Every structure is written in structure tokens, then in C-alpha cells.
Amino acid sequence: MTSTSRAILVDTSAYFALVDRTDQHHAAAVGFVEANDRPLVTTDLIIVETLNLVQARLGSSPAITLGKRLLGPPSTVLKVTDPDWAQA
């Protein structure tokens, strides 16, 4: 399992910038991922939000492709629990 102590949490805007070549942050996002050596993590809720956004703006095919990448190895997806909600 990937250690999350040095991990970077990736949110919806970062994922969207990676898949939308017209996004103003696309080149920076791609460059960061290519140069990054720290583990990337996300949450189940971020994945749902991201896939809904990609599907709405770019279509089903890009959303399905991204979903397969986000849910497959070596991705680390943290589940948001009820105690997480209460603490937030």
C-alpha cells in the first residue's frame, strides 16, 4: 500500500486540467505529473465529482477513460467516512 504521509491530494480541478487540452492549466498539470515523484491520492467523492464534470463538459468517452485510470492501479483512493464528515 502507498504511504500517504508525503502524498499529494489531487482534486477535481487538477484532474479536469489533465484531461481537457483546452483548459488554461493543462500544460502545467501535465508537466507537474510528469515531474512529480510523490504519491498522488484522491478520495471517492473527488472521483465522483470529477467524472460527473468530465462527462458533462467533454462527454461519456473521456469520462469512462478517466474513470478506468483513476480506479485502476496504481491509484490510491481514500474513502470518505462518516467520522471524516463529522470532523470536516
pLDDT at 74: 78
Rounded to whole angstroms, the Cα distance separating 5 from 38 reads 10
Tell me the pLDDT band of 75, cut-offs 50, 70 and 90: confident
Domain assignment present for residue 88? The answer is no
Question: 76 forms bridges with which residues in the sheet?
Answer: 41
Q: Where are the alpha helices (DSSP H) in 20-59?
A: 26-35, 44-58
Domain assignment present for residue 72? The answer is yes
Domain assignment present for residue 84? The answer is no
Domain assignment present for residue 57? The answer is yes
Tell which residue, 6, 65, 59, has the closest CA to residue 36: 6
Residue 87 has a CB neighbour count (10 Å cut-off) of 7
- In the chain, the number of structural domains is 1
CA distances from 1 to 5, 18, 41, 76 (A): 12, 25, 12, 8
pLDDT at 15: 96
Domain assignment present for residue 3? The answer is no
Query: What is the value of pTM for the model shown?
Result: 0.86
Indicate which CATH number applies to the domain containing 27.
3.40.50.1010
Domain assignment present for residue 24? The answer is yes
31-71 residue pLDDT tens: 999 999 999 999 999 999 999 999 999 999 999 999 999 99
Range of the domain at 33: 8-79
